[in-house]
């Protein structure tokens, strides 16, 4: 079992954090989910419960296994409850200040000096987060993909400080404890998947922004002409337009490539709260119920 790891913590119980917690609990790990307060912790529990229920309804999970997974998951509003964890995955908002604050706090709270501190960031430098701690060699990127219980990939990202032992533990945790397929990459903005994906999504946004064609036709073109399961603008809506913009800004900051720069339309939509599926409207409209 993943280098003896049995006790896992997840900081953040939103869409990604709840998904990471669910796959950990379903894998038989003692899992603690930490949110900002008790109200947010209850919301995280509801998120995990709803996802487990969906898996049962779709025949992907036995009811007893869903009950067991929920029973081995604790939801809390206090970081102090992560003190005994052997591995902690940070999955808070994609904001460097927020993530740095979490890592600085975990460094003081997590008692085992050999514990692995991981970030689920999709674009921020892992090394920078590690430098917020006194154990940068134990910090690694574990970038999961949404929805976590369904998509099999994890990007394992090493900084210049990440030790070979930390890398081995992270890879074994992803591959053997969680049953994911892991790919290894170095610490650069966007890692592998987003460095390829984001310019494609931004190109689709620019095409719509220019009036060249409609959002529905862009998506239909890639779905029916290239056999993509989801068009680029539907995918951007699923990821969250705020997240797409954040990743684009990180890529542009690092590489200064014009194709990485977020288009004005994307930034205006984020400012207007049109974030995609999670807000009910993005390039398409969704039933939030």
Q: What is the mean pLDDT of residues 75-92?
A: 98
* CA angle, residues 17, 178, 176, in degrees to nearest 5: 150
Q: At what angle do helices 193-209 and 232-239 cross, to 10 degrees?
A: 120
Is 93 inside a domain boundary? yes
Is 288 inside a domain boundary? no
Check whether 123 has a pLDDT greater than 90.
no
Judge whether 122 counts as a catalytic residue: yes
Check whether 163 has a pLDDT greater than 80.
yes
Residues 23 and 120 in one domain: yes
pLDDT band at 288 (very low <50, low <70, confident <90, very high): low
Residues 100 and 150 in one domain: yes
Q: Strand pairing partners for 140?
A: 118
Residues 201 and 140 in one domain: no
**What is the number of domains present in the chain?**
2
Catalytic residue among 120, 123, 194, 250: 194
Pick the last residue of a domain from 186, 201, 224.
186
Judge whether 143 counts as a catalytic residue: yes
Residues 162 and 247 in one domain: no
Please give the structure tokens belonging to residue 248. 């684009």
Residues 151 and 197 in one domain: no
In 3D, which of 4, 25, 109 has the Cα closest to residue 74?
25
Q: Strand pairing partners for 222?
A: none
Residues 197 and 271 in one domain: yes
Is 151 inside a domain boundary? yes
Residues 63 and 46 in one domain: yes
Pick the last residue of a domain from 152, 169, 186.
186
Q: What is the pLDDT of residue 220?
A: 98
pLDDT band at 289 (very low <50, low <70, confident <90, very high): low
In 3D, which of 59, 112, 53 has the Cα closest to residue 86?
112
Q: Is cis: bond before 147, omega within 30 of 0?
A: yes
Q: What is the mean pLDDT of residues 246-252?
A: 93
Q: What is the pLDDT of residue 75?
A: 98
Residues 170 and 61 in one domain: yes
Residues 8 and 133 in one domain: yes
Q: What is the pLDDT of residue 109?
A: 98
Is 267 inside a domain boundary? yes
Residue 64: which CATH number?
A: 3.40.50.720
List, in order, residues 6 or more apart from 31 with CB less than 8 Å away: 8, 9, 10, 21, 24, 25, 72, 73, 74
Residues 259 and 173 in one domain: no
Are the CB atoms for 247 and 124 separated by under 8 Å? no
> Can you give the residue range of the structural domain that contains 234?
193-279
Q: What is the mean pLDDT of residues 175-196?
A: 95
Catalytic residue among 90, 155, 171, 182: 155
Residues 150 and 57 in one domain: yes
Residue 257: which CATH number?
A: 1.10.1040.10
Catalytic residue among 2, 51, 122, 159: 122
Q: What is the pLDDT of residue 2?
A: 43
- From the number of C-beta atoms within 10 Å of its C-beta (0-12, 13-18, 19+), residue 276 rates as buried
Please give the structure tokens belonging to residue 95. 């904001």
In 3D, which of 83, 84, 69, 78 has the Cα closest to residue 24?
69
In 3D, which of 259, 218, 261 has the Cα closest to residue 237?
218
% the chain with pLDDT above 70: 98
Judge whether 155 counts as a catalytic residue: yes
Is 67 inside a domain boundary? yes
Q: What is the pLDDT of residue 287?
A: 86
Check whether 3 has a pLDDT greater than 70.
no
Give 3-state DSSP helix, strand, coil % of the chain, rounded to 5.
50, 15, 35
Q: What is the pLDDT of residue 90?
A: 98
Mean pLDDT of the chain, nearest integer:
96
Q: What is the pLDDT of residue 1?
A: 39
Check whether 259 has a pLDDT greater than 90.
yes
Residues 198 and 268 in one domain: yes
Is 165 inside a domain boundary? yes
Query: Mind listing the pLDDT tens digit for each residue in 200-245?
Result: 999 999 999 999 999 999 999 999 999 999 999 999 999 999 999 9
Catalytic residue among 22, 143, 161, 182: 143
Pick the last residue of a domain from 123, 154, 186.
186
Q: What is the mean pLDDT of residues 240-260?
A: 94
Is 284 inside a domain boundary? no
């Amino acid at each position: 079992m993943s280098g003896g790891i049995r006790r896992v913590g997840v900081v953040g119980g939103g869409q990604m954090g709840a998904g990471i917690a669910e796959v950990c609990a379903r894998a038989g790990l003692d899992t603690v989910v930490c949110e900002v307060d008790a109200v947010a912790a209850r919301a995280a529990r509801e998120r995990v419960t709803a996802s487990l229920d969906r898996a049962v309804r779709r025949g992907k999970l036995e009811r007893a296994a869903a009950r067991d997974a929920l029973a081995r998951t604790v939801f809390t509003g206090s970081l102090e409850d992560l003190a005994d964890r052997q591995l902690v995955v940070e999955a808070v908002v994609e904001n460097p200040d927020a993530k740095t604050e979490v890592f600085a706090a975990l460094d003081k709270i997590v008692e085992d000096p050999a514990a692995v501190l991981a970030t689920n960031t999709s674009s921020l430098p892992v090394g920078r987060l590690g430098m917020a701690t006194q154990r940068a060699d134990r910090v690694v990127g574990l970038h999961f993909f949404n929805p976590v219980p369904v998509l099999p990939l994890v990007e394992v990202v090493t900084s210049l400080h990440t030790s070979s032992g930390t890398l081995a533990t992270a890879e074994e945790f992803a591959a053997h404890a969680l049953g994911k397929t892991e790919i290894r990459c170095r610490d650069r903005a966007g890692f592998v998947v987003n460095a390829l994906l984001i310019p494609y999504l931004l190109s689709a946004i620019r095409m719509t922004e220019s009036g060249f064609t409609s959002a529905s036709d862009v998506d239909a073109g890639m779905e029916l002409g290239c056999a993509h399961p989801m068009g680029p603008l539907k995918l951007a809506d699923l990821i969250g337009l705020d997240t797409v913009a954040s990743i684009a800004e990180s890529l542009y900051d690092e590489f200064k490539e014009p194709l990485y720069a977020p288009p004005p339309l994307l930034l205006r939509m984020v400012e207007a709260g049109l974030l995609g599926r999670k807000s009910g409207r993005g390039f398409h409209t969704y039933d939030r119920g």
